[in-house]
Amino acid sequence: MMVSSHTAMRTLLVVATALLLLSLIGQAETQPEFNLMPMPASLQAGSGELALNQSFTVAVTGHGGARVEHAAQRVMARITAQTGIPVSNTLADSSKATLVLSAEKAGESVQKLGEDESYKLEVTPTGARITAPADLGVLRGVETFLQLIQPSPSGFVVPAVTINDQPRFPWRGLMIDVSRHFAPVDVIKRNLDAMAAVKMNVFHWHLSDNQAFRVESKKFPKLQEMGSGGQYYTQDQIRDVITYAHDRGIRVIPEFDMPGHATAWFAGYSELASGSGPYAMEQKFGIFDPAMNPAREETYKWLDKFIGEMTALFPDQYFHIGGDEVNGKEWDANSKIQEFKRAHNLQTNEDLQAYFTKRVQEIVKKHKKTMVGWDEVLHPDIPTDVVIQSWRGPKGLAQAARGGYRAILSNGYYIDLMFPASQHYLNEPLSGDAAGLTPEQQKLILGGEATMWSELVTPDTIDSRIWPRTAAIAERLWSPQSVNNVDSMYRRLAVVGHELEYTGVTHNSYYERALERIAGPNNVHSLMVLADVLEPPKEYHRGQMDKLTTDLAYNRLVDVLHPESDSAREFAMLVNRILAGNGSPQDKSRARAMLIMWRDNDQRLQPVLQNGNFLMRELVPVSQNAAAVASAGLEALNYLDAGVTPLPTWTQQQLAVTTEARKPHASTLIMIAEPVQKLVQATQGGPPAPGKW
Amino acid sequence: MMVSSHTAMRTLLVVATALLLLSLIGQAETQPEFNLMPMPASLQAGSGELALNQSFTVAVTGHGGARVEHAAQRVMARITAQTGIPVSNTLADSSKATLVLSAEKAGESVQKLGEDESYKLEVTPTGARITAPADLGVLRGVETFLQLIQPSPSGFVVPAVTINDQPRFPWRGLMIDVSRHFAPVDVIKRNLDAMAAVKMNVFHWHLSDNQAFRVESKKFPKLQEMGSGGQYYTQDQIRDVITYAHDRGIRVIPEFDMPGHATAWFAGYSELASGSGPYAMEQKFGIFDPAMNPAREETYKWLDKFIGEMTALFPDQYFHIGGDEVNGKEWDANSKIQEFKRAHNLQTNEDLQAYFTKRVQEIVKKHKKTMVGWDEVLHPDIPTDVVIQSWRGPKGLAQAARGGYRAILSNGYYIDLMFPASQHYLNEPLSGDAAGLTPEQQKLILGGEATMWSELVTPDTIDSRIWPRTAAIAERLWSPQSVNNVDSMYRRLAVVGHELEYTGVTHNSYYERALERIAGPNNVHSLMVLADVLEPPKEYHRGQMDKLTTDLAYNRLVDVLHPESDSAREFAMLVNRILAGNGSPQDKSRARAMLIMWRDNDQRLQPVLQNGNFLMRELVPVSQNAAAVASAGLEALNYLDAGVTPLPTWTQQQLAVTTEARKPHASTLIMIAEPVQKLVQATQGGPPAPGKW
């Protein structure tokens, strides 16, 4: 019996590369000189480079305090991880150290919005120095230094450079929803490390929603006992995460969503609700009727105690109360609430919610915190010290600023919607309506937040939904507005995405393991050829295809796919150049080689899929369609090359193939279908395909 | 500028699989029915299967205590990790549970040698049950259950089966040397989880050596302060690891190597040494002169205090004092020691060491522990309650047993020597001299230990040196002697090796990341094609090639390579079948496809290597030689196919190519060179190549 090992099979699957491709692919293109993300505000290349070897040491001078020393420890550990060089793990004397970290002062013990994060990094062939007015700047600078490390002909080096850097926006956040799917502390921590690596400074912790309440409350223990399914953070764990984040220059802002999105609270405390219950943790996703009762004074007494407990637990100045998506049905159905509205002259449910929001805002203020809420809290009755998080559309941000509110942008940064990095990258906060704001109003735009809503993610896959795309958002919020070249972003993202794994996130390494779970060790690589051209559905389309609940197994191919297919993006770019008449012979050969690979992969994969397990079988039509599309693309290239116009029946048939292939199967999208459709249409001199699926 | 992303490049490198290989590779071969490792003592397949889905629950009955409940928690977490199914994390009622764990009693609070590990596992379509006389058996049984989980056409299932199982040997260990390279606690813990997954029950912790002393001593703090470079375990960490191991049914046996291999002790306590010093942590590897002074009574007083402290810290009954490789030079050079020898009528340095060993044995015994030592402690003066760890040769084990000593086998299980899994697998403790032992003497053979000496390993790579090969050793020590089919072992190892990553070890997932460090994101997969046919040097040859020290960067390709090339093993097997005249047409086509891939890969890789960084440049001749060998192999296959005998000059030339290719370059071995050499020789009807390089 032949031993067909995993490795041998993979090797065979990689076969014939050179045979087929050598003539097609030249040298790897020249790397951009500095694979930094986010790009610094100012960078001047020097001459020469600093050698990085076993004698590398770090020293700390100035008055930056413990946080700088911890950063120095992390630099030493990360260099060893990134390069394999066993550098010293003890601090050196500043007169002898390779890298000197120097901050003039320590930052606030509770990090404040707008603290100075600027730094200067100077690298010469003899040493490197990061200086900053405050310790936060050193934390940002060391991440730049780590990104500059690269192997050279002589060894690992850091190129000589002078960087003066500071952020464009003071609020650069990542929200993680831990309600719909829980994220254990280790998942949170590794994502904090990755955030720090791209200079993000706000972790917005969406801790409660209809599906679960995730924090231990000592005053109201039924919140976690009846609202978390046993999956919640103890207060010790919360404090541990806050300390961990602060050490990395990241503020932790808790969100307790109210008055809607709160069903899980009502499992233990139904008296808070507007309906009669009973209530239980919601297992489905969407907008639900339950909402807090804004007409009972007891609600505010309860919230005063609760917010008192939580503002003591979370030291940040800002406290997020959610406020989104109340459908008002429970309010309409409750006669006492209707009575309350009349008594208080509240015309609409929006007015009623504004009443609630104002009351909560007063409680939050009483506990010496500043309230943050989603778009919906914006109302003429709400004081302007509330911060608005804009999510519903591009206009909300400018509207808030015009009203005198400070605002942060999340519309366009919804990474759960599976859009490509470029789309988020080009989502400029000060564009559209916001471009017309006065300079004073523009100052009210604090920044933005990527939002990782967790309906579809598990601890296995969450990193791959956040990274590397969030690094592009981090650059948008840190770097000058003029830094906006998409090609450059993708080139740097490939390198920085690799480096991010050294912070502990697993967005690259999970992929092969997850595919192997589906395909077994012998077929993982032919499944990968298919998976590499697929993407999950966009926006909320997945929910229209599959019955989704919190207790579903998110282990199908669609759950493993990268949100963005690098292969399909490259292929689409080749097709665009070819159809625009400026495709090189290499472009054409490369496009052809890709199509051949995709077409022929089905011959190997198809029998395995048909005889495979349940996770494989649903992929039968996906592989067939991908092969059919690739075949159509090859034929179209032949016609275009030959300058021959095919018969209309051929074109009709191929358009039928690509149209069919653009429909989702097994909840996946074949991302090469659209560019192939363009090729087919071009054989008739026709227009490009309208819209996206 | 074209975006050549990591993924797109990989996809292209996987190109043309089907085109070239479809006709060559049939369906993946039928999997063996049960991918278990170690194979149980008795297994009877039932009919049908148990569905594994969201409603899966675990219950605990009987009197197994907390350890069974913790095992139940781990089962639930591992099922979620392995399958992606969110199973409950709380224990269920036994009347309703899918899996019931039942032990009649808890094991010893300090696990003893020879405790009952037997269990019975019954799986039917309606449920599964693990019963055992003691909790240890349940711990073993749950690992069997987890290995049985597989995806089927209907979902994840566990096939119906009845297993009655118990180990062949009571001592199944893994030794990790943390002196030459430190292994942080998280590395130790994940390896304990992997050990438990293959039913190993002894973690032998080699805590001190010439290069470092790794435990906090409160009585002698200069041990860690001057002997560890800041890298040591606190006593709290030691206790934490011991608790963690006990929870998984693993004993922790500390080793403090003496009187040799102890230079790091002398850095803080030079008075213990036989020379005049000064002493410092050794940075090189090998056998060194420093040794404790056996002639001073103060040495034994010191050791009494030290052993008192350490036997209190490590609760296991057994205490390893090393005793290996004393070269005696410091003793010979010390006149007082010479005087002492004469005064005590000790003829040789071996007699002097036996005197020392006996004194230490008395101290160990005074502290109520049983001493373990390497081969060298065996001496007529040493009492037979000492356990001998046999490492020097195949005869030592039987010799010890004949002398009435209990013994464990490590000779043949030295996984640092980079030998293939098959070699360790076939290293049968009761073969050779030991086969001639009486049944009573055979009972003295307690089992064996894989030994991970850490000269060449770092936290990055250590898992890949231990796993998956150690699983084969675990099977040798657990399963019946008759379980010894190498093909079956390799088939199961591929599956179990994949599953082992779910325990946290990284032997598979480190590979691509480490290659990417060398090659960058764009060239990682053509480097992988080369790396897949290479192996590191065997035995201690690497030390003859490279100047090795503890502070070297172990980041070259040789440090990343798998110890065993699956691709080369498969290719060698094809060649053997072809040359034996029973190669199928598929065998020949497959061998040819592999050779084409390896030949052509150099065309792509070579310019990248030549223009690459220092880690790439040293690979220029390796890639060239691999391609030349592959080319020779293809031509040889052509001659053999055609039945034409080539001119002797051709054969001479090709033998020169393969001979050259069998020499190490960049400290790597091209593992396809030997089988190709056989092909070339076969064209002349010549004999196979003698010996191995």
pLDDT tens per residue across span A151-188:
999 999 999 999 999 999 999 999 999 999 999 999 99
Asked if B647 reaches chain A (Cβ–Cβ under 8 Å), the answer is no
CA distance A471 to A174: 10
For residues A514-544, b (16+ Cβ closer than 10 Å) or e, as one string? bbbbbbbbbbbbbbbbbbbbbbbbbeebbee
CA-nearest residue to A495 within chain B is B521
CA distance A188 to A174: 11
Average pLDDT, chain B: 93
CA distance A649 to chain B (A): 28
pLDDT value at residue B521: 85
C-beta separation of A415 from A176 below 8 A: no
Q: Which of A49, A216, A309, A325 is catalytic?
A: A325
* Greater model confidence, B3 or B74: B74
Q: Which of B391, B404, B410 shows the shortest CA–CA distance to B441?
A: B404
CA distance A546 to B529: 39
CA distance B118 to B207: 31
DSSP 8-state assignment for residue B613: -
CA distance A139 to A250: 10
Task: List A residues 591-620 in contact with B (Cβ-Cβ < 8 A).
Answer: 593-594, 596-597, 600-604, 607-608, 611-617
Rounded to an integer, the average pLDDT of B229-248 is 98
Q: What is the DSSP string of A589-646?
A: HHHHHHHHHHHHHHHHHHHHHHTS-HHHHTTHHHHHHHHHHHHHHHHHHHHHHHTPPP
CA distance A509 to chain B (A): 6
Task: List B residues 119-178 in contact with A (Cβ-Cβ < 8 A).
Answer: 150-155
Q: Does A33 qualify as catalytic in the annotation? A: no
- Residues whose CB is less than 8 angstroms from the CB of residue B262 and which lie 6 or more positions away in sequence, other chains included: B208, B209, B210, B272, B273, B290, B291, B292
Rounded to an integer, the average pLDDT of A613-627 is 97
pLDDT tens per residue across span B582-599:
999 999 999 999 999 999
Tokens for B560, please give them: 């990343």
CA distance A86 to chain B (A): 6
CA distance B8 to B31: 32
Percent of chain A with pLDDT over 90: 92
pLDDT tens per residue across span A467-482:
999 999 999 999 999 9
Flag whether pLDDT at B34 surpasses 80: yes
CA distances from A629 to A568, A621, A671 (A): 12, 12, 10
pLDDT value at residue B393: 82
Task: List A residues 438-497 in contact with B (Cβ-Cβ < 8 A).
Answer: 458, 460, 487, 490-491, 494-495, 497
- Radius of gyration for chain A, computed over Cα atoms and rounded to the nearest angstrom: 27
pLDDT tens per residue across span B360-402:
999 999 999 999 999 999 999 999 999 999 999 889 999 999 9
CA distances from A289 to A13, A141, A324, A681 (A): 53, 48, 12, 48
Q: Which of B197, B95, B105 shows the shortest CA–CA distance to B142?
A: B197
CA distance A270 to A187: 32
Q: Which helix (H) or strand (E) holds A194?
A: helix A185-197
CB contact under 8 A, B13 and A17: yes
For residue B275, the number of C-alpha atoms closer than 13 Å in the C-beta half-sphere is 19
CA-nearest residue to A89 within chain B is B230
Average pLDDT, chain A: 93
CB contact under 8 A, B83 and A555: yes
Task: Name residue, tokens 């808890």.
Answer: B106
Torsion angle of the four alpha carbons A239, A241, A244, A246, in this order, in degrees rounded to the nearest 10: -70
Q: Which of B577, B171, B596, B553 shows the shortest CA–CA distance to A11?
A: B596
Torsion angle of the four alpha carbons B239, B244, B245, B247, in this order, in degrees rounded to the nearest 10: 120
Q: Which of B1, B10, B19 to mutate to test binding with chain A, by most A CBs within 10 Å of its CB? A: B19
Task: List A residues 216-275 in contact with B (Cβ-Cβ < 8 A).
Answer: 230-231
CA distances from B190 to B137, B462, B463, B503, B504 (A): 21, 11, 9, 6, 5
Question: Residue B213's beta-bridge partner residues?
Answer: B208
How many CB atoms sit inside 10 A of residue A449's CB?
Answer: 27
Asked if A512 reaches chain B (Cβ–Cβ under 8 Å), the answer is yes
CB contact under 8 A, A5 and B53: no
Rounded to an integer, the average pLDDT of A283-302 is 97
A114 dihedral zone (left: phi>0; alpha: psi -120 to 50; beta): left
Does the model's pTM come out above 0.90?
yes
pLDDT value at residue B294: 98
CA distance B500 to B146: 11
Helix (H, G, I), strand (E, B), or coil: what is residue B369? coil
- Residues whose CB is less than 8 angstroms from the CB of residue A554 and which lie 6 or more positions away in sequence, other chains included: A456, A457, A458, A460, A461, B84
CA-nearest residue to A617 within chain B is B153
Asked if B508 reaches chain A (Cβ–Cβ under 8 Å), the answer is yes
| Nearest neighbour of A28 by CB, restricted to B4, B27, B597 | B4
Torsion over CA: A405, A409, A414, A419 (sign): positive
CA-nearest residue to A520 within chain B is B495
Q: Which of A414, A482, A429, A416 shows the shortest CA–CA distance to A170?
A: A429
Asked if B520 reaches chain A (Cβ–Cβ under 8 Å), the answer is yes
Confidence of residue A686 (pLDDT cuts 50, 70, 90): low
Asked if B87 reaches chain A (Cβ–Cβ under 8 Å), the answer is no
Q: Which of B17, B90, B567 to mutate to test binding with chain A, by most A CBs within 10 Å of its CB? A: B17
How many CB atoms sit inside 10 A of residue A558's CB?
Answer: 25
Contacts of A11 in chain B (CB under 8 A): 528-529, 532-533, 567, 594, 597
Q: Which of B143, B255, B309, B325 is catalytic?
A: B325
pLDDT value at residue B26: 36
pLDDT tens per residue across span B142-163:
999 999 999 999 999 999 999 9
pLDDT tens per residue across span A391-439:
998 899 999 999 999 999 999 999 999 999 999 999 999 999 999 999 9
CA distances from B423 to A302, A599, B473 (A): 69, 42, 10
Task: List B residues 305-334 in contact with A (Cβ-Cβ < 8 A).
Answer: none
Flag whether pLDDT at B23 surpasses 90: no
E strand map for B420-565: 445-452, 534-535
CA distance B384 to B363: 16
Rounded to an integer, the average pLDDT of A609-624 is 97
CA distance A325 to A375: 10
Burial class (CB in 10 A: 0-12, 13-18, 19+), A65: middle
Rounded to an integer, the average pLDDT of A619-640 is 98
pLDDT value at residue B686: 52
Flag whether pLDDT at B691 surpasses 90: no
- Radius of gyration for chain B, computed over Cα atoms and rounded to the nearest angstrom: 27
CA distances from A332 to A146, A328, A352, A353, B188 (A): 57, 6, 11, 13, 60
pLDDT value at residue B117: 98
Q: Which helix (H) or strand (E) holds B310?
A: helix B297-313
State in Å, rounded, how far the first CA of chain A is from the last one.
48
CA distance B128 to B145: 9
CA distances from A67 to A73, A97, A246 (A): 10, 19, 8
Confidence of residue B549 (pLDDT cuts 50, 70, 90): very high
CA distance B442 to B401: 7
C-beta separation of B520 from B10 below 8 A: no
Task: List A residues 41-60 in contact with B (Cβ-Cβ < 8 A).
Answer: 53-54
CB contact under 8 A, A513 and B508: yes
DSSP 8-state assignment for residue B216: -
Q: Which of A102, A103, A72 shows the shortest CA–CA distance to A89?
A: A72
Q: Which of B6, B14, B526 to mutate to test binding with chain A, by most A CBs within 10 Å of its CB? A: B14
Q: Which of A369, A259, A237, A238 shows the shortest CA–CA distance to A303?
A: A259
Confidence of residue A1 (pLDDT cuts 50, 70, 90): very low
Torsion over CA: B412, B415, B419, B424 (sign): positive
CA-nearest residue to A231 within chain B is B89
CA angle B47, B499, B501 (to 5 degrees): 165
Torsion angle of the four alpha carbons A223, A227, A229, A233, in this order, in degrees rounded to the nearest 10: -50
CB contact under 8 A, B13 and A21: yes
Rounded to an integer, the average pLDDT of A605-633 is 97
φ, ψ dihedrals at B60, nearest 5°: -120, 125
Rounded to an integer, the average pLDDT of B505-509 is 95
CA distance B243 to B259: 30
C-beta separation of B205 from B318 below 8 A: no
pLDDT tens per residue across span B272-318:
999 999 999 999 999 999 999 999 999 999 999 999 999 999 999 99
pLDDT tens per residue across span B513-526:
999 999 988 899 89
Helix (H, G, I), strand (E, B), or coil: what is residue A240? helix
E strand map for B99-250: 99-105, 119-124, 127-134, 150-152, 155-165, 171-177, 202-208
Flag whether pLDDT at A486 surpasses 60: yes
Contacts of A509 in chain B (CB under 8 A): 509, 512-513
pLDDT value at residue A151: 95
C-beta separation of B268 from B226 below 8 A: yes
CB contact under 8 A, B85 and A508: no
Asked if B95 reaches chain A (Cβ–Cβ under 8 Å), the answer is no
Flag whether pLDDT at A5 surpasses 50: no
Flag whether pLDDT at B16 surpasses 50: no
CA-nearest residue to B7 within chain A is A566
Task: Report residue B35 CA to chain centroid gap.
Answer: 20
pLDDT value at residue A308: 98
- Residues whose CB is less than 8 angstroms from the CB of residue B560 and which lie 6 or more positions away in sequence, other chains included: B461, B510, B511, B514, B515, B518, B531
Contacts of B557 in chain A (CB under 8 A): none
Contacts of B4 in chain A (CB under 8 A): 28-29, 570
pLDDT tens per residue across span A38-78:
999 999 999 999 999 999 999 999 999 999 999 999 999 99
CB contact under 8 A, B597 and A17: yes
